[in-house]
Amino acid sequence: MTEVQAADIQGRLAAVRQALDAAADRAGRRVELMAVSKTFPAEAVEAAAAAGQRIFGENYAQEGCAKIEALRAAHPELPLVWHFIGPLQSNKTRMVAEHFDWVDSVDRLKIAERLSSQRPETMPDLNIMIEVNIDGEASKSGVAPGALEELLEAVRGLPRLKLRGLMTIPAPAQTHDEQMKPLAAMRALFDRLAPRYGLDVLSMGMSADMLTAVEAGSTMVRVGSAIFGPRHYPGRA
């Protein structure tokens, strides 16, 4: 990572933060910014952290754990907060439970049970969000809205986990109104369930829809490419 690349990241981060703060002011709500650093090197995280960013999101267990270790080794003084936001398979739960502060993509009880039993006693409780498939796309991860309460009930009793909120990734939509539909449905679901389950985070909004998401009620947006630039996946066109 060159100095120019680091400065690019910091410039884009400042622009995102400014737009987000303005939207949060309009909404009259505090909104946190997660920087999604998947596929980018630890140096990209360092550049964002040097500009004050503290919350980071990673999608892939091995890549994320390696980055967490690299950042802790290089900057033990930085209080970075790491969210796991990708699909999580059973054979990766242990490394995630041993490294991350949050898992935002829990959509099955079995995964929550494994995280609960594998979270080290020496670490604080693992913060948990349930991922909801709000628009019912067949191919997507996330629990169906109709099955959400049963999962919340089961997860809230598990030791070493702290149930914190709901996360969703709506299907990409072009217009403001199309973006708003699933986001508003998610907000309604959150408002209904948050008091009963003590939820305080509604994670929705990515680079393309973060301002609409804040308008709809998001308390945490997950922004990758608008901060770090376009992603290049090795082995993919």
Binding string, residues 73-112; x marks residues near ligand PLP by CB under 6 A? ------------xx--------------------------
Query: Interface with ligand PLP includes 59 (CB under 6 A)?
Result: yes
CB of 165 to ligand PLP, least distance (A): 14
CB of 148 to ligand PLP, least distance (A): 18
Query: Interface with ligand PLP includes 179 (CB under 6 A)?
Result: no
Residue nearest ligand PLP (C-beta atom) = 224
Residue 225 to residue 9: CA distance in whole angstroms: 10
* Alpha-helical regions (H) of 28-82: 42-50, 61-74
CB of 227 to ligand PLP, least distance (A): 8
Nearer to ligand PLP, 86 or 165 (CB): 86
Query: Interface with ligand PLP includes 142 (CB under 6 A)?
Result: no
Nearer to ligand PLP, 64 or 115 (CB): 64
Residue 131 to residue 106: CA distance in whole angstroms: 6
Residues in the interface with ligand PLP (CB under 6 A) total 14
> SS3 for 168?
strand
Tell me which stretch binds ligand PLP (CB under 6 A): 46-54, 75-83, 177-185, 224-232: 224-232
DSSP string of 68-94, one letter each residue:
HHHHHHH-TT---EEEE-S---GGGHH
DSSP string of 100-167, one letter each residue:
-SEEEEE-SHHHHHHHHHHS-TTSPPEEEEEEE-TT--TT--SB-GGGHHHHHHHHHT-TTEEEEEEE
Give the H/E segment covering residue 189: helix 176-197
Among 12, 38, 67, 83, contact with ligand PLP (rule: CB under 6 A): 38
The label of the residue with tokens 């398979």 reads 89
Query: Interface with ligand PLP includes 141 (CB under 6 A)?
Result: no
Query: Interface with ligand PLP includes 130 (CB under 6 A)?
Result: no
CB of 141 to ligand PLP, least distance (A): 9
Question: CB count, 10 Å around CB of 78?
Answer: 13
Query: Interface with ligand PLP includes 206 (CB under 6 A)?
Result: yes
Exposure of 210 by Cβ count < 10 A (0-12 exposed, 13-18 middle, 19+ buried)? Answer: buried
CB of 206 to ligand PLP, least distance (A): 4
Query: Interface with ligand PLP includes 218 (CB under 6 A)?
Result: no
Strands 220-223 and 81-84, by their bridges, are unpaired
Which spans of this chain sit near ligand PLP (rule: CB under 6 A)?
Answer: 36, 38, 59, 85-86, 169, 206-208, 222-226
